Amino acid sequence: MTRPPKDGDDGLRRIGRRALFLGGLQVATLGVLALRMRYMQVDQADQFRLLAEENRINLRLIPPVRGLITDRAGKLLAGNEQNYRVVIVREDAGDVEAVLDRLSLLIPLEDDHIERVLREVRRHRPFVPVSVAERLTWEEVARVAANAPALPGITPEVGLSRHYPLAADLAHVVGYVGAVSERDLEALEDPEPVLQIPGFQIGKLGVERRMEETLRGSAGSRRIEVNAVGRVMRELDRREGTPGQNVQLTLDHRLQNFVQARIDGQSAAAVVMEVETGDLLAIASSPSYDPNLFARGISQTDFSALLEDAYRPLVDKSVQGVYPPGSTYKMVTALAALEAGEVVPEERIFCPGHIDVSGRRFHCWKGGGHGRVNMVSALSESCDVYFYELAQRVGIDRMHAMARRFGFGERFELPMSSVSAGLNPSREWKQRRRNESWLVGDTINASIGQGFVLSSPLQLAVMTARLASGRAVEPRLVRAVGGVEQPVRDWPSLGLDPAWLAQVRRGMNETVNHQRGTAYSSRVVEAGYRMAGKTGTSQVYTITAAERAAGVRRQEDLPWNRRNHALFVGYGPEAAPRLAVSVVVEHGGGGASAAAPISRDIMLQALHGGLPPLSAYPAPQRNRIETMQRELQERLLPAEISQGRRT
């Protein structure tokens, strides 16, 4: 069928209009695009060039060099050393677990360590390098490099790592560093970006932790060019960071080494403190551990061994451990009675071996009693009944106030972890904490450092320094920061009558130097080096009436953890005090037998600056002391041995 001519003309006109419309639309669209392109390429060129540059150039942080920790003579206690390490990049490695298995054939990698590395690899982005092993030897690095084709993603590097050259000698004081954990980041309100660098280490314990911001320094930066997936192409420029400040401690590393060696093998703590300045020369806890294990990433096997040790090596007993001070507290009771005017030093009190108060019998350590004793003899022979009588006259309020003046119940501000305040009990404390009224029996127990009273070896050293100086001395651990000496305070007077202090010091002198003194066997016979002190034995296991009637068992017959704690505090030289010493031996049995001999050896070592001459000891003891010194030399630093003097 043939279409009429009129219909054909109409169709052509419709097609022409559509073509014109579409053509116009295309021209308009192209015009808009052209205008937009001109706007972006010309008018907005600078802005887009800046955005492109920012996407291509990244700013990355450079970890700062950590500050050093030294002793008072400049001996390095915590430093940085270059070490060979191996890192892995997940995107280059492919099968990370298989690569690590092959790597373990070349360098020692335990299974639990490999698991830790795998967890770290999964935590970070694929192109971020993760440390696999630190402190490798040159031979180990060479083996890794030689087998590089079989180890995709593995790269040897040279970096800085924390090192503790004296290892266990200062572990509890200096502490250690470790990698930043999620818990560390959560504890900070606004953590610095440098803390999120993979493998970055911060202080975890001790001075390393408490002075973290001082030691850390500030990070540097570098501008690097990266590709589309974030891989580094080249470094454009670098700005080094500011190293952390060096910290100098008051400690004497040689004395610390000796103290740690002397209490080795026991669960014990010892503190040596300058009487006038408060400088801590040694502060040791035994057993100790090697902080380098933690800085490098301790294995589960090593960590479990530390946790399961009955002597608790991870606990710093010198500041964290608290113990009933026992008879070392008796000087506080005596001074409280003197200040209250409830006793004169010459007054004699009869000790039959016990005292009955409120229907309860309180025993003296000497079953047969001490007879008639005054203040000096009561201190030197450690008569309990004498102080029971003073306690009833004085009361807990005055005893509490006097104990406070000597540092009991006070948490001293030191850059160490978990410094304890101990416990200086009072009526208010018992009512608040136990909802019970204070009893006269509580006062009697407190008078001999038992009951609720608790103190740390540090607090006992502070008490002793205050007794020797008459001033409110406080312990000091930091000597200088960044090369700037920290000022020594002019410690105020305790406000005690010198005559009262003289009586107490006389009692401490006779404790060590009188034949009837409890520490006479630990006396020093060398002129100018004699010390004064006080023994203490704090009860751990309560003796029942039936056991007392049947005959008290010897300490040696009890399980170790039920034996009494042994304590001793002392200062020397007795005539012109320079140093205060405190020693606590957990479950050591008796202060006279376990703690006093250690204190004497430490005091002589500190005063002589090396192994003391045998002439400092009583003649009958010299063969035994010589044998002990010979055995100690195996643990002493070489330079220390050369300083020893023998006559």
Sheet containing strand 268-274, strands side by side: 280-286, 268-274, 579-585, 565-572, 532-538
Q: In the structure encoding, which two tokens stand for residue 432, read together? A: 């608040």
CA gap 137, 151 in Å, rounded: 18
At 338, is the secondary structure helix, strand, or coil? Answer: helix
CA gap 447, 337 in Å, rounded: 11
Q: In the structure encoding, which two tokens stand for residue 174, read together? A: 């200096």
Helix, strand, coil abundance in the chain, percent, nearest 5: 45, 20, 35
CA 322-328-333 angle, to 5 degrees, is: 110
* CB 606 within 8 Å of CB 461: no
The 3 state secondary structure assigned to 48-70 is HHHHHHHHHEEEEEECCCCCCEE
The bridge status of strand 478-481 relative to strand 247-249 is antiparallel
Neighbours of 417 (CB within 10 A): 19
**How many residues are there in the chain?**
647
At 5, is the secondary structure helix, strand, or coil? Answer: helix
Q: In the structure encoding, which two tokens stand for residue 376, read together? A: 């000096």
Cis peptide bond upstream of 63, omega within 30: no
Residues 6+ apart with CB under 8 A from 314: 289, 306, 307
Beta bridge mates, 484: 481
Q: In the structure encoding, which two tokens stand for residue 262, read together? A: 């002397």
* Burial of 357: CB neighbours in 10 Å, binned 0-12, 13-18, 19+: middle
Distance of CA 448 to the CA centre of its chain: 30
Element (H, E) at 579: strand 579-585
* CB 580 within 8 Å of CB 510: no
User: How many Cα neighbours within 13 Å face the side chain of 86?
Assistant: 27
CA gap 452, 408 in Å, rounded: 12
Distance of CA 424 to the CA centre of its chain: 23
Any idea what DSSP says for residue 355? E
The bridge status of strand 69-70 relative to strand 247-249 is parallel
Q: State whether the Cα torsion 442-446-450-456 is positive or negative.
A: positive
At 235, is the secondary structure helix, strand, or coil? Answer: strand
At 488, is the secondary structure helix, strand, or coil? Answer: coil
| Marked catalytic residue, from 131, 267, 286, 327 | 327
Known catalytic residue at 327: yes
User: What is the chain's alpha carbon radius of gyration, rounded to the nearest angstrom?
Assistant: 36
Q: How far is CA 551 from CA 18, 154, 546, in A?
A: 123, 71, 9
CA gap 557, 287 in Å, rounded: 24
User: How many Cα neighbours within 13 Å face the side chain of 479?
Assistant: 15
Q: Which residues are catalytic?
A: 327
